[in-house]
Amino acid sequence: MRVVIQRVSKASVKVDNKIIGAIDSGLMILVGIECNDSREDAEWLSKKICNLRIFDDENGVMNKSLIDVSGKILAISQFTLHAKTKKGNRPSYIAAAKPDVSIPLYQYFVDQLEKDSDSKVETGEFGADMQVSLINDGPVTIVMDTKNKE
Give 64-96 pLDDT, tens digit per residue: 999 999 999 999 999 999 989 999 999 999 899
Helices (H), 16-139: 39-51, 99-117
Helix (H, G, I), strand (E, B) or coil at 22: strand
Question: Is 123 an active-site residue?
Answer: no
Distance, CA of 111 to CA of 46 (rounded, Å): 9
Q: Active-site residue among 80, 85, 123, 146? A: 80
Helix (H, G, I), strand (E, B) or coil at 126: coil
pLDDT for the residue 110: 98
pLDDT for the residue 127: 87
For the domain made up of 2-148, the CATH class stated in words is alpha beta
Q: Which residues of the chain have pLDDT under 70?
A: none
pLDDT for the residue 34: 95
pLDDT for the residue 149: 78
* Closest of 39, 127, 112, 41 to residue 76, by C-alpha: 127
CB atoms closer than 10 angstroms to residue 126: 15
Q: Rounded to the nearest 5°, which phi and psi values hold at 110?
A: -60, -45
Residues 6+ apart with CB under 8 A from 95: 34, 35, 82, 84
Pairing of strands 26-32, 18-23: unpaired
